[in-house]
Amino acid sequence: MNIAVAIQTCDRYEYTRQTVESFIKQNALRNYRLYYGDDASTDNRIHDLMRQYRIPCIYRNRTRQGNARTRDKLLHAVAKQSESHDYILPLENDIETVRKIPIKLIDKIFENKRIGIFRLFGKYKAPAWGCSSRCAITGKIVKWAPIDILGEELACSTIHWTYMPTILPVKLALQLIKGAKREGDSMKAMKKLPFMPRTIRPRGGLENNFIVHIGNDRTKDYRR
């Protein structure tokens, strides 16, 4: 299995350092290929950090373009790499990895072709940041069915895609972000799919998360 980790950067050096170092600390990198794309950072320490860990820059904006456009260009650039990637993990630069993401678990989850998305967080992304209980596409309250896979306490349901952060097949990721100019564009793309892919996530609160959101400070001239 080969998973491309697409790290999206825009200044915020300390958050970026914690994002990169916690991911590397928790995971066996033989299964991952790390890349980054930058949205016009003015702090050169971002690029120094990436060079330190030998993470190549495959997309870089000279002027600020915002989250959605940068993610679109970055994920398409990742997909064009010569290596064959099975899955993509979009990772913004304010995410701490708090425990290992088992490769065997990813394999097992995606054996079911109805499952298209593996969220790395449960009810909460951070202590004060709960996740939506309503599907933004159908407008319905989401009911999560408990499921145990390889000893992991998980839950399954159908809900809109959220990029922060999830593992998903390369083909599906490209369908969801193609031509995106703003955050809501992936919702429109999801409506056009033949069927709504199901989502798996950790069950419960922060205690079962693989990641935690740490970014409370936004960059200057922040743009969605």
What are the structure tokens assigned to 113, written together?
């072709």
The DSSP 8-state label assigned to residue 207 in this structure reads G
Instruction: Give the integer Cα–Cα distance in Å for 195 and 191.
Output: 8
CATH code for residues 3-213: 3.90.550.10
Residue 212's pLDDT band (cuts 50, 70, 90): very high
Residue 19 is predicted with a pLDDT of 98
Rounded to 5 degrees, φ, ψ at 72 are: -55, -55
> Model's pTM, two decimal places?
0.92
Residue 68 is predicted with a pLDDT of 84
Instruction: Give the integer Cα–Cα distance in Å for 224 and 199.
Output: 24
Tracing tokens 């915020």 back to the chain, one arrives at 12
If you average pLDDT over every residue of the chain, what do you get? Answer: 90
Instruction: Give the integer Cα–Cα distance in Å for 62 and 59.
Output: 10
> Smallest Cα–Cα separation from 72: which of 160, 161, 185, 166?
185
Residue 219's pLDDT band (cuts 50, 70, 90): low
Run of H or E including 69: helix 67-79
User: Could you tell me which residues come within 8 angstroms of residue 103 by beta carbon, excluding any fewer than 6 positions away?
Assistant: 1, 28, 31
- Per-domain residue ranges of the chain: 3-213
Higher per-residue confidence, 38 vs 129? 38
Residue 194's pLDDT band (cuts 50, 70, 90): confident
Per-residue model confidence as pLDDT tens digits over 128-185: 778 888 998 888 999 999 999 999 999 999 999 877 799 999 989 888 887 767 767 7
Report whether pLDDT(104) > 70.
Answer: yes
Let me know: does 66 contact 224? Beta carbons within 8 Å: yes
